[in-house]
Amino acid sequence: MGKSVNPDLAKARSQATFDPANLTNYLYGGPEKLRRKRYLPAFVFKELCTEMSLTDLCLIFLGLLTHVSDYLGLTLSIENMAAKEYKEEGFKSTDDMSREEAYEESMRRAVYTNKRVLQLNLQDQEEQYYFREIFVPGANPFALHYVMFKDAINTQGTEDQIQKWLPLAETYAVTGTYAQTELGHGTFLRGLETTAEYDVQREEFILNTPTITSSKFWPGALGKTANVAILNAKLITKGRNCGMQSFWVPLRHLETHQPLPGITVGDIGPKFGYHTSDNGFLQLNRVRIPRENMLMRYSKVLQDGTFVPPENDRLVYVPMTQFRFVVIGRSGWTLAKAVTVATRYSAVRRQSEITPGGGEVQILDFQTQQHKLFTQIASAYAMIIAAKAAKDLYDSAFSKMEKGNLEDLPMLHALTSSMKAFNTWEMATGVEQCRMACGGHGYLLASGIPQMYTDMVSACTYEGENTVMCLQAARFLNKCQEAANKGERLPQLTRFLQTSRLNISSSLDQDVDLNDIIAAYEFRAATVISEANARLNAGLAMGKSQSEAWNYASQLLVKAALAFSHWFTVRALIENMRGAGFDNSTETLLLQLAKLYALDGMLRYSGDFRKVG
């Protein structure tokens, strides 16, 4: 590779007190997964690129993965690669393109990677994601197809429906979206107006968006890409509203891609970010689909129109819960990318003097710059590791659910809701801090950071608006607090409400004990949850109804959910760092990082921590 490494960066790297490969292996799930992660894109680049040797590419990827690397430089070099498929045009940055051109360029690349994923028979979703992410760095027009569309089929469809529809999705015989949100309702699902009325004579559902506010609005890929939707609508059969159900709804002709009769679809227009995702609108004018198109794993409509309810009406929400886990994990990795760019930049950017006449220093030498960046490095590790811990809980609960045991569903909903809100808010704040730490150059699209922000900050809204998600988690936490008040047995995850005590042994003049840190966060969460519960009960004592008292306490209830997530994150970070089997120098460093994360959190929420002593 002809590129020489900047001497300031080489100096910074040479001062590392640990072997970065240990961390990279840990973060990517071990040497074999890491090898696969490196091999896949490099394999395709070799195939595509006429200008760069495979050795060059592997060195780039080695640089990207094992050191604080030139993410910025890598992005530009990939963009400029002359590739067989695109040699006449080359990979152009979409930054200077119109929205239409950017969508088309992303679509070209996404279609290419879809073909290669099939040809390489890549089954693992993570491997598919790594493979695509390099080629389609912004919003992928197929994002909904890859995740929510297929997840909904897998979790809401019967075995027969899965057998019938999933191969179509896997081979891109169809391109799907997940259409739930309407112009008038995104959060309040019970307010959705789209109807699916059962016609018992013809054994069909008649889908209708009766009002302008019932138009489906926001679903990704609806504007141009998708030709099928998993669509959520109010089921009406035998004159009764049976609540929200999911339906397989063809939208566009599979050959001509023209909207089918009764279907009006289009793009909703420019957005704050996410420019290469064609979020769209959909109106249905009495569109008929066969009875078999209702996803009937949990609830059914029999031929005579009889509605068979699900064992639990919340099971229809499972695709959202599943995708919240994806968002929880992506938030940490997005912050990791942003802080990589900002830290590398801070090693090579020389600006101002610390000692007058001593010459301009690397801005990484300023204490303020270190505080801006090291707290975000710690936060990225914390979010990635907490997401792994949450996923372990999810997997064990989900395997029970698949056997019909739904006891963990409320805990799962509370955990995914609160962690999705906590991680995306922390990510948004952190990425913006990284951008500003790069001065004017951070404001350049070429830095890569602005798009990370404008794309991913939408995760604070989609998949459940964050405040609403905190309130959802608070329902569960408040119930647990009420049970704790009565001395009843609690779910494992919230037993600290009954056991947490503040017996901190650390004193201010010694290095803080990690167990004390966990105890402090646990006690803070228990205190805030208890305060929210007290405020709710005070509202009831004032004669307010349950819903009015809930609204009266809602600001504290949101805080309770966030304090719970913060505790879960700190505990996961410390326990995983201690138990990960690192060599001493790496473990020492990571525990320092964990302390930095926890103590920075105490400073940022010092009101809570001082209040609890």
Ligand X SMILES: Cc1cc2nc3c(=O)[nH]c(=O)nc-3n(C[C@H](O)[C@H](O)[C@H](O)COP(=O)(O)OP(=O)(O)OC[C@H]3O[C@@H](n4cnc5c(N)ncnc54)[C@H](O)[C@@H]3O)c2cc1C
Ligand Y SMILES: CCCCCCCCCC/C=C\CCCCC/C=C/C(=O)SCCNC(=O)CCNC(=O)[C@H](O)C(C)(C)COP(=O)(O)OP(=O)(O)OC[C@H]1O[C@@H](n2cnc3c(N)ncnc32)[C@H](O)[C@@H]1OP(=O)(O)O
Site for ligand X, rule CB under 6 A: 144, 178-181, 185-187, 218-220, 274, 279, 458, 461-462, 464-465, 467-468, 471
Q: Which is nearer to ligand Y, 82 or 189 (CB)?
A: 189
Pick one of 53, 187, 545, 546: the residue that binds ligand Y (CB under 6 A): 187
The H or E element spanning position 341 is helix 318-348
Q: Which is nearer to ligand X, 162 or 221 (CB)?
A: 221
Torsion angle (degrees, nearest 10) of CA 90, 96, 99, 101: -30
**Side-chain-facing half-sphere of 177: CA atoms under 13 Å:** 27
CB 222 to ligand X: min, Å? 8
Of the candidate spans 178-186, 255-263, 542-550, 580-588, the one that interacts with ligand Y by CB under 6 A turns out to be: 178-186
| Spatial separation of the C-alpha atoms in residues 550 and 439, rounded to whole Å | 44
Query: Judged by CB under 6 A, does residue 28 bind ligand Y?
Result: no
CB 341 to ligand X: min, Å? 23
467 binds, among ligand Y, ligand X, none (CB under 5 to 8 A by kind): ligand X
Of the candidate spans 5-13, 316-324, 418-426, 588-596, the one that interacts with ligand Y by CB under 6 A turns out to be: 316-324
CA 100 distance to own-chain centroid: 26
For residue 485, give Cα distances in angstroms to 479, 495, 533, 547: 10, 12, 10, 21
> Nearest residue by C-beta to ligand Y?
317
Closest to 279 in 3D by CA, of 454, 139, 392? 139
Closest to 420 in 3D by CA, of 346, 500, 331? 331
Q: Is 112 left (phi over 0), alpha (psi -120 to 50) or beta?
A: alpha
Residues in region 132-161 near ligand Y by CB under 6 A? 143-144, 146-148
Q: Which is nearer to ligand Y, 150 or 595 (CB)?
A: 150
Q: Is the dihedral of CA 360, 362, 363, 366 positive or negative?
A: negative
Q: Which is nearer to ligand Y, 144 or 517 (CB)?
A: 144
Phi, psi values for residue 81, rounded to 5°: -65, 135
CB 274 to ligand X: min, Å? 5
- With both helix axes pointing from N to C terminus, report the angle between 54-66 and 71-79 in degrees, rounded to the nearest 10: 150
Pick one of 53, 55, 125, 546: the residue that binds ligand Y (CB under 6 A): 125
314 binds, among ligand Y, ligand X, none (CB under 5 to 8 A by kind): ligand Y
CB 180 to ligand X: min, Å? 4
Residues in region 321-340 near ligand Y by CB under 6 A? 321, 326, 329-330
Q: Is the dihedral of CA 541, 545, 550, 555 positive or negative?
A: negative
**Cβ(69)–Cβ(76) under 8 Å?**
no
Residue 280 DSSP SS3: strand
Give the residue carrying structure tokens 């992660």.
37
**Token output for 396:** 């064990």
396 binds, among ligand X, ligand Y, none (CB under 5 to 8 A by kind): none
Among the listed residues 463, 465, 531, 587, the single catalytic one is 463
Residues making up the chain, counted from first to last? 613
Q: Which is nearer to ligand X, 88 or 188 (CB)?
A: 188
For residue 275, give Cα distances in angstroms to 108, 138, 175, 430: 15, 8, 19, 22
Residues that contact ligand Y, how many (by CB under 6 A): 32
Q: Which is nearer to ligand Y, 418 or 576 (CB)?
A: 418
CB 511 to ligand X: min, Å? 41
> Nearest residue by C-beta to ligand X?
186
Within 67-189, residue ranges assigned H as helices are 71-79, 99-119, 125-135, 143-144, 150-156, 159-170
Residues in region 452-471 near ligand Y by CB under 6 A? 462-464, 468
Of the candidate spans 123-131, 300-308, 505-513, 598-606, the one that interacts with ligand Y by CB under 6 A turns out to be: 123-131
Q: Which is nearer to ligand X, 84 or 190 (CB)?
A: 190
- According to the annotation, is 220 in a ligand binding site? yes
Q: Which is nearer to ligand X, 112 or 274 (CB)?
A: 274
227 binds, among ligand X, ligand Y, none (CB under 5 to 8 A by kind): none
Pick one of 46, 92, 164, 314: the residue that binds ligand Y (CB under 6 A): 314
463 is catalytic: yes
**Cβ(250)–Cβ(260) under 8 Å?**
yes
CB 549 to ligand X: min, Å? 14
CB 180 to ligand Y: min, Å? 5
Burial classification of residue 59, based on how many CB atoms lie within 10 Å of its CB (0-12 exposed, 13-18 middle, 19 or more buried): middle
CA 149 distance to own-chain centroid: 16
- According to the annotation, is 368 in a ligand binding site? no
Phi, psi values for residue 206, rounded to 5°: -105, 110
Pick one of 113, 180, 418, 447: the residue that binds ligand Y (CB under 6 A): 180
475 binds, among ligand X, ligand Y, none (CB under 5 to 8 A by kind): ligand Y
225 binds, among ligand Y, ligand X, none (CB under 5 to 8 A by kind): none
| Spatial separation of the C-alpha atoms in residues 52 and 388, rounded to whole Å | 36
Catalytic amino acids? 463
Residues annotated in a binding site: 181, 220
Residues annotated in a binding site for FAD: 181, 220
Residues lying near ligand Y in the complex (CB under 6 A) are found at: 125-126, 129, 143-144, 146-148, 178, 180-181, 187-190, 220, 314, 317, 320-321, 326, 329-330, 409-410, 413, 462-464, 468, 472, 475
